Chain A
Amino acid sequence: MKILVPVKRVIDYNVKVRVKSDGSGVDLANIKMSMNPFDEIALEEAIRIKEAGKADEIIAVSIGASQSQETLRTALAMGADRAILVVATDDVNQDIEPLDVAKILHAIVVEERTDLILCGKQAIDNDMNATAQMLSALMGCSQATFASKIELAGEKIKVTREVDGGLQVVEVTLPSVISVDLRLNEPRYASLPNIMKAKRKPLEQKEPKDFNVLVKNRLEIIETNEPAERMAGIKVSSVDELVEKLKNDAGVI
């Protein structure tokens, strides 16, 4: 079985994001970029499945500007076998929208004949949470989102999902798209020998037109704002005071 893991290059989660002064987006100049943390978790799961002897090959795919190559090298160093870079823009500031990403991924899935697609539930830059669902719709196959546990048994996969009310267990049949949540696993860091090996692993470069997809943004960003600054909290000395504050100051009860 082949596993496809899409990985996105995003602002590192440790970086404090700053909005550009003209409000046109966030400032990416000289900012540390990394693999989307949820994609890292998806990749880790794929590697574990392969290590357990239940998969033969892991293909990492990234769609975006050519800089995404760095993210793919990280994926290869962690344990992906080969990578496909789809250069869909030459502007690092351009976000490729989920539908176009899903269409390109769909074409790759067909071409590569992959049965399992493991992806992050969302990218931490735009928090869309849409690609996995769209891909599964395009493929006409099963989907399981927000996975916190994945158990393979032949053609069937038991997925534990994190839902608002608790945990939900579903069973899907391959082929399937599974999007993963934070608590699924703790991704490994690449070892030095694997970093060196990754430099020689195949990385294929493609363009959207190779898959007959025309990348076209449908959404227009009107404005980007800093979130409102959080006010400092206060300490109250008694329950009575707390109730009083909730009633009169916060107006929540």
Chain B
Amino acid sequence: MDATKCHLDIRDAISKLCSQFDSSYWQTCDRENKYPKAFVTALTKGGFLSALIPKKYGGSGLSLSAGAAILEEIHKSGGNAGACHAQMYTMGTILRHGSEEQKSKYLPKIASGELRLQAFGVTEPSSGSDTSSLNTTAKFDGKNYIVNGQKVWTSRAEHSDLLLLLARTRPITEVKKRTEGLSVFLVDMRELVGKSLTIKPIKTMMNHSTTELFFENMPVAPENMIGDIDSGFRYILSGMNAERILIAAECIGDAKWFINKAQKYAKERIVFDRPIGQNQGVQFPIAKAYSKMRAAELMLRQAVNLFDQGKNPGEEANLAKLLCSEASWNAAETCMQTFGGFGFAEEYDVERKYREARLYQVAPVSTNLILSYLAEHVLDLPRSY
């Protein structure tokens, strides 16, 4: 099905919802580094963040294509879903690997929005992209797992009740493979903040509510471990395809926003007695950005379709993330250049979206790491790291 025709009803509702949060809303949030609370509340109340949670746990039980449509529309409207997209998919780890008890305890409350699970603690300052070398440890003291260490770039931790945490439960020296010995915990931060857990906001070039986390003898009950001990890396990996696909959808939304902005401005702005868009030097980059967006969108669509058919589209999910983030960045550059000096003025939103769109070259996985994946796993070239 044509990508833009899919979930028309959902797209329509989202675009109406987003029209209540205009550019001045986003500009204010950005300028004041404020969490877009009213927007997140509207999405939560509308049930859009629980689209992927099965019906029996209070969600809408929709497939990933619905999630992709929601996030794409948010970005296409000029908004940003970064403040809450993780509420949509972080729960996937519990859904796939949690016990029935954990699922029925947490998922209904996550679906209603009563519990926010939108913090994901994987990246550490010393390990970076090399996830399996992370240093945060969780040691069992006979009663609880005691967590010590540090995370960085844990986004939305201040706006989340729960944290999905990856920590080492068996020292790297005692495992055959580095990817073994890691476990996933569902941490209820509400009881721990200010005691054994410290959250420190990081100032960044965009409004993303990202933080550093410090754990000092932080107790986590054994029943809060997801799945089997020492097998956590695999659980985190299993959620990556969905995450990559959803982020790719946000990128396509961004690309569409930039192209639309550039197209309109190029028609309206008169210099040398003609619309700037009449110059091929201005219109060709926009046409190129459009063609790149459409091509990337096709890859996204294929990844979504395979995912929804129950396949494990590692290649397509990675390709979609790569191509869509490149398409959005290319569109951002083109839009900025089309606007000339006015692109730098906050009033037009271009500079804000430009800063926001840049993130996806780096997070949640950097472009190089995707290329390494393709080289190693698809093209069968020697592993480079």
Contact = CB atoms under 8 A, between A and B. Distances in A.
B12 A191 contact: no
B47 A189 contact: no
A195 B48 CA distance: 11
Contact of A70 (B8, B10, B62): B8
B12 A196 contact: no
B133 interface: no
A77 B9 contact: yes
Given A189-B16, A196-B60, A73 B9 contact: yes
A195 B8 contact: no
Contacts of B10: 192, 195
Contacts of A73: 9
A213 to B, nearest CB: 30
B9 A189 contact: no
Given A73-B9, A77-B9, A192 B60 contact: yes
A77 B12 CA distance: 11
Contacts of B62: 192, 196
A190 B45 contact: no
A193 interface: yes
A36 interface: no
Interface in A33-48: 34
Which of B8, B9, B50, B51 has the most A CB atoms < 10 Å from its CB? B9
B13 A189 contact: yes
- The DSSP consensus for interface residues of chain A is helix
Nearest to A190: B13
B46 interface: yes
Interface in B16-52: 16-17, 45-48, 50-51
Interface residues of B, number: 16
Interface in A170-209: 189-193, 195-196, 198
B46 A74 contact: no
Nearest to A194: B47
Contacts of A34: 12
A4 B84 CA distance: 39
Contacts of A198: 9
A195 B50 CA distance: 13
A214 B46 CA distance: 42
A192 B8 contact: no
A192 B51 CA distance: 7
A125 to B, nearest CB: 18
Contacts of B9: 70, 73-74, 77, 190, 195, 198
Contacts of B48: 191-192
B107 to A, nearest CB: 15
Interface of A: 34, 70, 73-74, 77, 189-193, 195-196, 198
9 contacts: A34-B12, A70-B9, A74-B12, A189-B14, A191-B46, A192-B10, A192-B47, A192-B62, A193-B60
Given A189-B13, A192-B62, A193-B47, 18 more contacts: A34-B12, A74-B9, A74-B12, A77-B9, A189-B17, A190-B9, A190-B12, A191-B48, A192-B10, A192-B13, A192-B46, A192-B48, A192-B50, A192-B60, A195-B10, A195-B13, A196-B60, A198-B9
